[in-house]
Chains A and B, each alone.
Chain A
């Protein structure tokens, strides 16, 4: 339906447009501006064209950070999506326990992100952390996320899954609740097993919400900053230096604004393209052409 009326309510959006212009569009233009310059200090800059982009693409540390980032996002999606759906399936459907379950599930989502990093950092410390002390002293397994890259990754994944799986679960739960009862009744009558009911009724009908969950989790995990920074600072060494952490190091640590700006744009493009591909793939699943 196309709205073609002359509606003066549109004028009310001007304040929003101004704010968005200031906080998003103009800074974005600034980044584009910087990406074609080499900046030595405030006031000292020369125009270098696409040289920044070329140097970015050759930077081996950037490429390592990129692979690490892909690995991280991949693991996140692989774990959180199925886990979230399983939790949604297990949640109660009626009565007071529904509200209780929803509140408990939402709690991790409400905590500020750097606080989450701090919580897990302390939780896994071998000396005072509940988890760290138990594993090291009671179970005798050496575990130190500040020393071992594997331990750091394990801690990161645990933190990330604990933090964000509830979002996937809540979205999947909403999708499940929207399925009319008759489908389950028909499946019962057809003698379908719980797995068949899941595969042929629940999963297809959750396609919409799962697409949203997938896109959100991909974008957020690909852009992640606060939690790993607080937890490990990017270490030990470079083992948990993800893209945004590296970018901040470039821009703020080394004041290499030109390079950082150039890479920011490439970063932005990667996320856009991948989201687009994911979305198209999911929209076309289950849609076959009729012969």
Chain B
């Protein structure tokens, strides 16, 4: 079963929350919708679920037009950010609630509930009330309730954002396994690029109600089609330097000369934006680093096992990510090295012209 959104828009009070989206989502896939807050992720999910009706456009599931169909008639399950459970029902009854309407026998329901509870490690909490559970346990209950229906469409709206960071790590791994076992379309929204990379599958990059890029997550990560996609899909933020290509040399920023070799050969003369990820800027001049950027240190942040150094090159702010501990004084001069094969090249309208391949 697949879903197709065709020219879908949602206008609320004159504001375009969703702006003409056309999207096809294949069955049996995990799809991550990545975007900043207010990009339209929740609106998109609500349209897919049938909680809202699109202002224009059609939604087609398995060839059938479901645009006018109410959410109760669709095979949809949804998990929210704020762990939503029926407060007066036990965990068992919470999980069983979607099945009670379906006319299954009590023993069938019991079997399904226990199976899903075991999958989410809450089978020992079945007779507790939601108020007696921790945040992580409440969210697992909500997820269990969504999974027990075996619906064809499983929607999760930033379900882990209100949880402890460590709990989030645990659940991300568990959810991955759970999604693999399902024969459903899973759509999962998040603002964190690392979460998108963790879950894998396909990605839909959303910004201001528009789809910027879709594709397999690792592919989109390594080939962001526009500067905006690279910005949204980067944590820490990607570094940009304006540059001019003349002859076979690019002059970036203030006096940085890059030979246009390898994947940069095909770029014609002109003005461009060069992008490089923080972990491809180095503090030592290893092999292959053919260019040096002179910078001043603005801040060094130490993470325990890596260091993020915020530097400025003229007016441009850059972030360098290096393994190990490298404290630097604010205001000190720092030479940063880069290998040209790690550059993304974007033209002046922000479209990708060249992206790095595996470099030696």
Contacts and interface: CB of A to CB of B under 8 A. Distances in A.
Tell me if chain B binds chain A: yes
A178 interface: no
A2 interface: yes
B70 A5 contact: yes
Contacts of B68: 4
Contacts of B51: 1
Contacts of A2: 52-53
A1 B52 contact: yes
A263 B340 CA distance: 87
Interface in A1-18: 1-2, 4-5
Interface in B61-107: 68, 70, 72
A1 B70 CA distance: 12
How many of chain B's residues touch chain A, expressed as a range? Answer: under 10
Interface string B310-324: 000000000000000
A5 B72 CA distance: 10
Interface string B136-179: 00000000000000000000000000000000000000000000
A5 B68 CA distance: 8
A4 B69 CA distance: 9
A5 B52 CA distance: 11
A98 to B, nearest CB: 21
Nearest to A3: B70
Nearest to A1: B52
B60 to A, nearest CB: 18
Nearest to A4: B53
A5 B51 CA distance: 11
A5 B70 CA distance: 6
Interface string B13-54: 000000000000000000000000000000000000001110
Contacts of A5: 70, 72
A2 B51 CA distance: 9
A71 to B, nearest CB: 42
B34 to A, nearest CB: 25
A2 B52 CA distance: 7
B131 to A, nearest CB: 19
Contacts of B72: 5
Nearest to B68: A4
Interface string A170-191: 0000000000000000000000
Interface in B264-322: none
Interface in A27-72: none
Contacts of B70: 4-5
Nearest to A2: B53
A60 to B, nearest CB: 49
Nearest to B53: A4
Nearest to A7: B70
A21 B70 CA distance: 32
Contacts of A1: 51-52
A4 B50 CA distance: 11
A218 B136 CA distance: 49
A1 B50 CA distance: 11
A2 B54 CA distance: 11
A1 B72 CA distance: 15
A5 B66 CA distance: 12
B266 to A, nearest CB: 48
A5 B69 CA distance: 8
A132 B72 CA distance: 66
A5 B53 CA distance: 11
Given A2-B52, A4-B68, A5-B72, 6 more contacts: A1-B51, A1-B52, A2-B53, A4-B53, A4-B70, A5-B70
Please name the 9 residue pairs, one residue from A and one from B, whose CB atoms are nearest each other, closest first: A5-B70, A4-B53, A1-B52, A2-B53, A1-B51, A4-B68, A5-B72, A4-B70, A2-B52
9 contacts: A1-B51, A1-B52, A2-B52, A2-B53, A4-B53, A4-B68, A4-B70, A5-B70, A5-B72
